[in-house]
Each structure stands twice: as C-alpha cells, then as structure tokens.
Amino acid sequence: MRENFLPFSPPYIGEEEIEGVVDSLRSGWITTGPKTKRFEADFAAYLGAPAALAVNSCTAALHLGLICNGIGPGDEVITTPLTFAATVGVIEHAGATPVLVDIEPDTMNIDPAAVRAAVTDRTKAVICVHYGGHPCEMDDLQAICDEHDLLLVEDAAHAIPARYRGRLIGSGSNPVAFSFYATKNLTTAEGGMLTGAPEMIDEAIVAHLHGMNRDAWKRGTKSGSWRYDIAMPGFKYNMTDLQAALGLAQLAKLEHMLARRRAIVARYDQGLAPLDAFDLPVEREGCESAWHLYPLRLRDGALKLTRDEFIEELRARNIGTSVHFIAIHTFSYYRRKYGFVPNDFPIAHRESERVVTIPLHPGLSNEDVNDVIEAVADIVKKFRA
C-alpha cells in the first residue's frame, strides 16, 4: 500500500507558470490587462474559435452565454441532471426554467432523443455538457436546435481539448464555456473562457465588466481614458493578468498534458478491464475525449460493498477519489422547487449512485498509476461477490 496519500487531481504547475505570474507582479499590471487580451487571442487561435472572452469562471461564461443571447424569464432551457450545480444554477440566475432530461448510459452525456421529446413552445435553449471530456452528439443536438430555432450552449468545463468529428470543441459559433478551475486540464487557479460568435462576444465584453464600454480595462493606461459609459447593469466577471499568465503557460503545454492523460487512460484500461467489476469510460468513434475524468462505475452485484464503501476502501489505501456527479435533481433546492424524485431520470440517478472518479492528471507517475490499479484490484479481490 502507498505510504503517502495520492490526491485526486492537483494542479500541474511548473516553472513556466511561476515565471509568468512573477513577471506580471513585477510589471505592475495584475488585473485585466495585456496578458488577458493575449490569452484570449491565443486561446481562440488554438481552437479556431471566432472570438473569445476570458472571465473569472466557467459559471460566468455560461451565464453570459445565456443572457447575451436573450434567454430570460418565461424561457425553458433543457439540460442534463448529471452535471455540476453551476450548469443549472445559471439558468435560474437568468430567470429561466431548467428542464432536465436523461442521459446516454455509455457516455453519460445528454441524450438527444430525450432532448427532442422535451421541447415545448417555451423552450429557447439547450445546454449540453461534455461529460468527463467526451463530446456530446453534436450533430444530433444541433439538428434539433436548428429545427426548433433553439440556442445551443456547450458546457465544456471538462472538454479542453476535445474533438468531435475532427473539430475542436469551441471552434464553432455556439456559445461554449470552458473552466480553468484548479483541477481542470488547463488551469488559471480560478477562471474560464467564453467562445462563440463575435457579435455575442462583443455584448459579453460589456456585460462582464459592470456594463462598461468595451475598452474600459485600458482606462489606467496612457492610451486609455478616464471617461466611460455604462451601457447596462453588468457583472464583475473579468479575468486578471495573474490568472492569464498561468493560462498562457498552460496553453503552451496543453497537447503534452493531453498526451500524458491518454497514456494514463490506456494503462487504466489495460489494468482495470480484466477485473470485470466495473463499466469503464468509453470513447465513441468520431470523438476524441479530453480525458478530464476517468469514471469507474461499479457493476451491480459485482462487489459486496456499496459505492460509498468502495471510496472509503480506496481512501484507506491512500488513493484519493471524487464523484462526478451528485445528480442535480436529488438536491434539496430542486426537489422543493420542482418536485423531482430520484427516478424521474433513472439513468442519471443510477450512474450518479455507482460512479467513482479515480486520479487522472498529467502529474501522475507510472508508479502512481500502478498504485491505483493495485488498490482497486485488492478491493475487488477482497470484496468480490
């Protein structure tokens, strides 16, 4: 057994990130400034996105993606129950009504057939979530949205850099929200990015910083002006140059980090599949996952212990884990407001109750990966039904 605890997903930070932050501190420009603008440009260029806006969280990006496309009170927005609370929370913040639908059993992404069945006259948007970094079935979802004149928003918190049919997620005109939280494939400690059509990004630029005119960040420079206009009651969603310095260094080594994630996934597949106790994550033809997560799903009746007990057994062996996710419709707020019960979305509920995400990040050594596999194998041997 390991002597030291193996964290689930610590940030992968090197000297390049440290030097970039120090350079920003020494420059005297630590809030939104030239590095933030460069990060936006470089990120858009990497994806081939029409335009990009750096913000302080993926939550902010999702919120802006809705409100800058006119989503508000009286509207319904279809999304998945198997996601983090922010995906559904921003629908409420916009004043709209979340409509949850079930998921696909293999990818755990939103089911296009369920989306189609849920469309009503009040439906104005769909938020799909690229679960674990695996792209949703975008052709099917886009066809439904085009047919019913709906906005398609992509929650890509897990999906940098994922590809669907050869195209990077975020390269199109849909609003796409990325997360750069500490555990993500690319981190700025906290932060996010909104990509999409230039006209939407222009509106989001104003909305994300108090409703000020678009170049308000320059007002402290020689070329800027102390005068500014307030075009709307906006938000405080801007990214800082300290964060952008991290992002620029992370973006430069993103492909290297993805390659390491893929190597770890291959080792997990090889070591865990023969145990015959779990459903392992998939990668469909035509999709390239960003491999943000490696979710194990305990097969019914395979082990003489619950999912929660499995997590505790791993913890006892110094292996950190997480759960992605506690299904949205089981939280008290949504149960009270919408009357949800667990079996309203049986697939999402089932997967939420049996999923465990094991360590997956580029800082894992081969020895770390072997320790995880050996710990899981030991539990299976001890608790085989």
Does residue 21 register a pLDDT over 90?
yes
List CB contacts of 200: < 8 A, sequence separation 6 or more: 51, 65, 68, 69, 175
Q: Please state which of the ranges 142-151, 197-206, 228-237, 264-273 shows the lowest mean pLDDT.
A: 228-237
Average pLDDT of 84-109?
98
| 96 and 121 both lie in a single domain | yes
What tokens does 19 get? 């030097």
H helix and E strand count, the chain: 13, 13
321-346 pLDDT tens trace = 999 999 999 999 999 999 999 999 99
Alpha helices in the chain (DSSP H): 15-27, 34-47, 58-67, 85-93, 112-118, 138-148, 198-207, 241-252, 254-272, 307-316, 332-338, 346-354, 366-383
Task: Please check whether residue 9 lies inside any domain of the structure.
Answer: no
Q: Are residues 209 and 240 in the same domain?
A: yes
Mean pLDDT of the chain: 97
Which residue among 35, 124, 184, 381 is the active-site one?
Answer: 184
Last residue of a domain, one of 236, 252, 268: 252
For residues 149 and 167, state if they share a domain: yes
The CA distance from 2 to 314, in Å, is 11
pLDDT value at position 20?
98
Question: What pLDDT, in 10s, does the model give residues 129-138?
Answer: 999 999 999 9
Tell whether the model's pLDDT for residue 190 goes beyond 80. Answer: yes
The pLDDT value recorded for residue 227 is 82
* Whether 129 and 270 share a structural domain: no
| Domain CATH for 87 | 3.40.640.10
Distance CA 324, CA 307 (A): 13
Rounded to an integer, the average pLDDT of 170-189 is: 98
Return the amino acid letter for 77. V
What is the reported pLDDT for 23? 98
Residue 146's domain spans which residues? 15-252
Instruction: Clarify whether 222 is annotated catalytic.
Output: no
The answer to whether position 1 is within a domain reads: no
Joined together, the tokens standing for residue 332 give: 């008290």
Q: How far apart are the first and last CA of the chain?
A: 23
Helix (H), strand (E), coil (C) string for 177-225:
EEECCCCCCCCCCCCEEEECCHHHHHHHHHHCECCECCCHHHHHCCCCC
> Are the CB atoms for 185 and 160 separated by under 8 Å?
yes
